[in-house]
Structure 1
């Protein structure tokens, strides 16, 4: 099984002190993509990959491979263990999921998907646009009763939900236009307050210290209120690079800083998550010498 190892100084990530850290290609990677990482508990993570049948063959819908959510255990040895697809009520007709998160209390699942003929909005809209839905878990059915978040406008795309540690703030990406909270580039990171009963505050753009005239994607907010995200803005190493920004006491973010190599590479690097101690984590990358499409990589202090 091929993997590669880097040892490097990671002071720029914001650990308490400069440490030697290893980065390793995770064993679960195959020729299929693995991305959309999210930490949902201290020792649990979810990610996105192709849905396979019992014989390991791709499941398809209208000829296209299906993407779904997998859950696994965050392991001290760098692997993701006990991986299995989460249970989603088939009557919900959710056929393609590109990112997801689960609320800290474990009661709500937020996911990114496209509209279907079951829930398509009235009037003209782009079927290729994504939106965010939220559902709840019911024994015997799995995750069900999904509802489109009320601030998702059909003419725009919304994706990559991420929740704060207390579950009171939802971060996401969108290309929505108009008004003070317009998108600057191809997609920006926004936030809303979670008010309960599927109600939310108005979306607020995180501003120019985070967003650029390019594309910002895959936000993750750590336990110490540091935002990690990916951007393909100018000045990067190539493709999408991972950035971080610390939130101040007033709720605003510092100017985002690009993480060093080899967490970033000449290829796409994105979807970083980190543990509560800021000492281990995972990210996705399409870098050279991987096993397939997007691979998951693990990093940890030596």
Structure 2
């Protein structure tokens, strides 16, 4: 009975998440002049995020003249800080030098990365070199993440990014600009999903539809443990730049019309990459709002 009482109280808190401004928000100590974004939980006590790779003197490391974006992991403290931060270990033989976002499977065996091709692994055929694709790798002790393979549904003429897994690891969400047919992209980029099948195959990408996607750009999806999709969009009638939206999905997998989250989660600048711990009523998001330390900063929030 007591457990049910606390569950009801928590549901009331979730309602407040969308209807009130009752939040506590703080800028994290890990933020610097460089961007920090691409948040994704590994488990209840660890997250991954994207930032630039630095040398021992704090200078930007570069590949082919460009700063290297890579994935970092860190532990979550009781106060909401991200501590013990370190780059994830990727097998250097895989020639992966620029990663915009990543997600790790619930069993810890696979990682999905959004990256682009380099001169060393560029495929044959005509394609836009600026396009991203999603590749999946496995973890091997002493080597790190290795044996990467581009997901079979990624076509060279389109761009795929921002992978996110459902809690059970059976559904992969991502953004893409796929054109043509019933599942065509409405705007600059839409959110799609595929089923991860038991034999390692994937279903065909399915557009989440007009209740979620718009004629603008949708980015950085995240599915919470209670079946709510959070994502960023720069559609009209927002607070400014990219705003964070949510869409509730029912048991049949149908998404309801997306709702914009209130201030102070959203601001007049870009806000995106929200993740939430449903049980704790806490979460993180990235923002370029005024008062930050530099570029995109990571913020911790508590639903009071």
TM-score when normalising by structure 1 = 0.93
Whether contact under 8 Å (1:114, 1:131) holds in the other structure is yes
Shift, 1:240, TM fit = 0.2
Instruction: Identify if the C-alpha distance between structure 1 residues 266 and 108 changes in structure 2 by more than 3 Å, giving closer, same or farther.
Output: same
Structure 2: runs of 5 or more not aligned: 1-12
CA distance in 1: counterparts of 2:198 and 2:55, whole angstroms: 37
CA distance in 2: counterparts of 1:174 and 1:13, whole angstroms: 28
Structure 1: runs of 5 or more not aligned: 1-8
Shift, 1:54, TM fit = 2.0
CA distance in 1: counterparts of 2:143 and 2:186, whole angstroms: 41
CA distance in 1: counterparts of 2:299 and 2:199, whole angstroms: 36
CA distance in 2: counterparts of 1:52 and 1:19, whole angstroms: 37
Instruction: Identify if the C-alpha distance between structure 1 residues 180 and 73 changes in structure 2 by more than 3 Å, giving closer, same or farther.
Output: same
Whether contact under 8 Å (2:32, 2:293) holds in the other structure is yes
Root-mean-square deviation over aligned CA pairs: 1.6
Residue aligning to 1:178: 180
Residue aligning to 1:46: 48
3-state SS of 2:197 partner: strand
Residue aligning to 1:77: 79
Residue aligning to 1:139: 141
Which of 186, 194, 197 is the equivalent residue of 2:196? 194
Which aligned pairs between 1:203-222 and structure 2 lie closer than 5 A? 203-222=205-224
Whether contact under 8 Å (1:68, 1:85) holds in the other structure is yes
Whether contact under 8 Å (1:160, 1:219) holds in the other structure is yes
Residue aligning to 2:158: 156
3-state SS of 1:109 partner: strand
Whether contact under 8 Å (1:230, 1:243) holds in the other structure is yes
CA distance in 2: counterparts of 1:74 and 1:230, whole angstroms: 23
**Range that drifts further, 188-197 or 250-259:** 188-197
Whether contact under 8 Å (1:13, 1:244) holds in the other structure is no
Whether contact under 8 Å (1:176, 1:183) holds in the other structure is yes
**Range that drifts further, 53-62 or 246-255:** 53-62
CA distance in 1: counterparts of 2:217 and 2:34, whole angstroms: 24
Shift, 1:123, TM fit = 1.2
CA distance in 2: counterparts of 1:209 and 1:19, whole angstroms: 24
Report how many aligned residue pairs link the two structures. 292
Whether contact under 8 Å (2:175, 2:192) holds in the other structure is yes
Encode CA deviations 1:172-196: one digit per residue, 9 max, x unaligned. 0000101100000000000000014
3-state SS of 1:253 partner: coil
Q: Which runs of 4+ in 1 moved over 6 A?
A: none
Residue aligning to 1:13: 17
Q: Where is the helix percentage greater, Structure 1 or Structure 2?
A: 2
Whether contact under 8 Å (1:10, 1:260) holds in the other structure is no
Shift, 1:276, TM fit = 3.3
CA distance in 2: counterparts of 1:10 and 1:103, whole angstroms: 26
3-state SS of 1:195 partner: coil
3-state SS of 1:13 partner: helix
3-state SS of 1:224 partner: coil
TM-score when normalising by structure 2 = 0.93
Encode CA deviations 1:157-182: one digit per residue, 9 max, x unaligned. 00000000000000000001011000
